[in-house]
Amino acid sequence: MLSGSATFHLRLLFLLNVIFGNFGPIESTRVLTHKSCGFVNFETLESAVQAKSQLNNKEIFPGAGPIRIGYAKVPSNAVTPGAPGSFHSPSPDPFARDNQAGIASDSAGLKPININAETAAAALLTPNLRDMRSEIYGIIQELGANKEEQVRINANVEQAISYDLYHPEIPGVPEPSPNRVHDAPRLREIRKRIDNNSCSPAEIENIAMDMLPEIAELASDYLGNTVVQKLFEYCSEPVKEAMLREIAPHLAQIGVHKNGTWAAQKILDVAKTPTQVNMIVDALRPYTLALFLDQYGNYVIQCCLRFQAPGNDFIFDAMLQRLWEIAQGRFGARAMRACLESHFASRDQQRMLASAIALHSVQLATNTNGALLLTWFLDTCTFPRRRAVLAPRLIPHLVHLCTHKVAYLTVLKIINQRSEADAREAVLRALFFSPNDAVLQDVLSDSACGATFIFKVLTTPFLDEKMRPEVLENVRNVLLRLKAQPQQGYKRLMDEVGLSTRHGGASGSRDASQTRSSSRGPGANGHMAHLDNQSVYGRQQYGAMPQQPLEHMMGPSLQRTASIDSNAFDPYGNSGLMTPAYTHSPAMSHISPATPQQMQYQQAMLAQQHAAAQRPGGFYPQMNGFGPGGPQMMDPYGRGSLNGSPIAAPGAHAVQHGFAPPGFNPNVGMGGYQYPVGYYPQQQGQVGGGGQRRGRR
């Protein structure tokens, strides 16, 4: 009788054959339920094209939503990795160049389809360790094992290969017996007495002996597992061995139970005698594979690491024998990495597993969980020449790996390092300098992962500068050959190799940048000032203003500095806007002397000052530098002085202290713009006398 999942699988196959059979004869159908995808191989190319055009983005299963249909890569005789020596349905092979029926090809006028390796495993048969003993021994030697270590590791490999009696599943815990003597109330009482130290060691052992007939069942009970933990913690070794004899045949099923796993882990933690260790190993070894893949059982396996070699050899034997099966599991891969990183793992055990990881490297690299083992191999373990061991096994499958969203990271790890330059150079030359650039073209045909990978390689600092020009040229040629477009995902890569994707080119971008920087937005006071020379000196916005140095108008005593206004534009680099008429700059020294109209304007200004000076209590220094109190001088830093005593600094502070030219309204600019009442621009840096720029003091 078929299980529910098998029945569902057959129904999907039947539906796919019925639906797609309307477009032509079907060669084979395959469904991957765990990836929610399927493969339909037609006998003719026309049938495949017609099926995609009519069913793509259509809802063929009611309620399942629209489906996406794409052309797969050419199937080859390679198989999807599985158990060693097993053969499954064909997997897409990125290296096969023959066009077969049902696959999009250039002859049909179709663009090459992106190589999406997410739904395809490595196009290789999973290595069979029995047939690859010599390779394992060679890798162990390359990883730095001496003669003595090689002998020990070879013996361990033979031991691991010789045992293959792993059970695929662990039986479940049976239902609790209704006639159980130790029910919940009694278990609570026992636990309370033990916790309160009201039981002597002899009484605890008597309790354990009374529980022996039911102890295996109690170990997975929600209350009983806590009592069993207490008994193993406080009982003597002979009593623990007696309890373990009853529990050992059921230890694996207890270990994968949500309650029993705590009792199982406690039993492993307190086991001391060789007899106890042997009973545990014999009980767990047939179920090691299933325990690795279980969310609770993998912790039970890790507890056995403390037995050390040879007590924990059964763990590494299973990892070596069934590495690919364990590595594909979410819990299995992480448990394997934890075992390899454990301080209980010996160097011999680590080298043995490192050799198996290298042999399975192509399959592991394309699996999200399996890649964790390659991360340990490349980043954590310290064996010499490990990258040199890995590179020759990855190079024949570069297209498959570099177009896979997980696997290309493993290739990058070999490239982004300087410790083993020979491994890096071998990968780069195989990638960029293959005959007719075949490998590079196949990789770049994938606009998602392939183009991203090549971009990362080109931008890495580990790429030899002597090799870079030729690499860039090869990538550029392949992109042109593929007629790559920026919108297809090649934009960054095209920019990197000099195939500009911007409209107008680089010079156009610089011109646009200069145009944007030639104007300023509205300032804090609503000004719009331009950065060209005319606008700086008031030749556009204040065209009616006399264009001459201020000393011709107001005398040298009150030179308005560039810092007078917080919005002033400093020609020496200070940010902000400025009122052009109040600008003093050495650049203005070349301006011609005042015209008759300007002289008339100055005389009117002087008359206003004279009238204001006659007002009671109103003393204002004359614009020509001589006020009623005597000559007003300028100190070397451009600050005014009266009768030898310094006055307030020019600018906003001078206005606040009452020193301002007669008729000068601080709220009205020279260009006629009226500032808000009470507005006094903040003072920034100063421009000193004689054109010398001074900082704030």
DSSP string, 182-224: S-HHHHHHHHHHHHTT-S-HHHHHHHHHHHGGGHHHHTTSTTH
How is residue 371 written in tokens?
């890649």
CATH number of 161-344: 1.25.10.10
Residue 119's pLDDT is what?
Answer: 35
Q: How confident is the model at residue 626 (pLDDT cuts 50, 70, 90)?
A: very low
Q: 3-class DSSP state for residue 27?
A: strand
Residue 126's pLDDT is what?
Answer: 74
Greatest mean pLDDT among 60-74, 169-183, 323-337, 545-559 lies in: 323-337
Residue 176's pLDDT is what?
Answer: 82
d(CA 110, CA 292): 46
How is residue 142 written in tokens?
């390359």
How big is the chain by its Cα radius of gyration, in Å? 43
Query: How much of the chain, in percent, has pLDDT values that exceed 70?
Result: 64
The lowest-confidence range among 115-129, 133-147, 166-180, 645-659 is: 645-659
Q: Which residue has the higher pLDDT, 650 or 326?
A: 326
- The answer to whether residue 182 scores a pLDDT higher than 70 is yes
Closest alpha carbon to 412 in 397, 400, 428:
428
- Its CATH architecture, for the domain 4-119, is 2-Layer Sandwich (3.30)
Burial of 326 (0-12, 13-18, 19+ CB in 10 A): buried
Cβ(561)–Cβ(687) below 8 Å: yes
Cβ(555)–Cβ(595) below 8 Å: no
Q: For tokens 């006398």, what's the residue?
A: 689
* pLDDT tens per residue, range 47-72: 888 888 788 877 777 766 778 888 77
Residue 586's pLDDT is what?
Answer: 40
* pLDDT tens per residue, range 513-532: 333 333 334 333 334 333 33
* pLDDT tens per residue, range 285-319: 999 999 999 999 999 999 999 999 999 999 999 99
Cite the residue boundaries of each domain of the chain with CATH code 3.30.70.330: 4-119
The lowest-confidence range among 321-325, 428-432, 602-606 is: 602-606
Residue 116's pLDDT is what?
Answer: 36
Does the predicted model carry a pTM greater than 0.75?
A: no
d(CA 544, CA 559): 21
Closest alpha carbon to 578 in 651, 529, 650, 646:
529
Residue 76's pLDDT is what?
Answer: 35
* pLDDT tens per residue, range 573-597: 444 434 343 334 444 444 445 566 6
Residue 539's pLDDT is what?
Answer: 38
The whole-number average pLDDT for the span 245-266 is 95
* pLDDT tens per residue, range 411-455: 999 999 999 999 999 999 999 999 999 999 999 999 889 999 999
Residue 101's pLDDT is what?
Answer: 31
Closest alpha carbon to 334 in 382, 386, 308, 298:
298
How is residue 113 written in tokens?
């389809």
- The answer to whether residue 21 scores a pLDDT higher than 60 is yes
With vertex at residue 481, the alpha carbon angle to CA 475 and CA 484, rounded to the nearest 5 degrees, is: 80
Residue 5's pLDDT is what?
Answer: 63
Go through the chain and tell me how many residues it has. 697
Residue 503's pLDDT is what?
Answer: 43
- Distance between start and end Cα atoms, the chain: 95
Residue 441's pLDDT is what?
Answer: 93
The whole-number average pLDDT for the span 19-34 is 83
- The answer to whether residue 198 scores a pLDDT higher than 60 is yes
Q: Which residue has the higher pLDDT, 427 or 649?
A: 427
- The answer to whether residue 545 scores a pLDDT higher than 60 is no
Query: How much of the chain, in percent, has pLDDT values that exceed 90?
Result: 46
Q: 3-class DSSP state for residue 694?
A: strand
Residue 3's pLDDT is what?
Answer: 55
Closest alpha carbon to 687 in 574, 594, 581:
574
Residue 37's pLDDT is what?
Answer: 82
Residue 502's pLDDT is what?
Answer: 55
* pLDDT tens per residue, range 66-102: 788 887 755 433 333 444 443 333 333 333 333 333 3
- The answer to whether residue 370 scores a pLDDT higher than 70 is yes
- The answer to whether residue 125 scores a pLDDT higher than 90 is no
Cite the residue boundaries of each domain of the chain with CATH code 1.25.10.10: 161-344
DSSP characters over 69-97: --PPPPEEEEE---STT---SEEE-TT--
Output the 3-class SS for 635-685: CCCCCEEECCEECCCCCHHHHHCCCCCCCCCCCECCCCCECCCCCCCCCCC
Cβ(211)–Cβ(191) below 8 Å: no
How is residue 10 written in tokens?
């057959």
Closest alpha carbon to 424 in 433, 414, 436, 432:
414
CB atoms within 10 A of CB 317: 23
Give the dihedral of Cα atoms 428, 432, 434, 437; nearest 10 deg.
160
Burial of 36 (0-12, 13-18, 19+ CB in 10 A): exposed
How is residue 662 written in tokens?
């007669």
Q: What is the pLDDT of the chain when averaged over all its residues?
A: 73
Residue 6's pLDDT is what?
Answer: 66
How is residue 480 written in tokens?
């042109």
Q: Which residue has the higher pLDDT, 208 or 178?
A: 208
Residue 341 half-sphere exposure toward CB, CA atoms < 13 A: 15
* pLDDT tens per residue, range 448-504: 899 999 999 999 999 999 999 999 999 999 999 999 888 888 999 999 998 875 543
Q: Which amino acid is at 397?
A: H
Q: How far is CA 467 from CA 219, 387, 494, 550, in A?
A: 65, 21, 19, 63
Q: 3-class DSSP state for residue 181?
A: coil
DSSP characters over 297-317: HHHHHHHGGGGHHHHTHHHHH
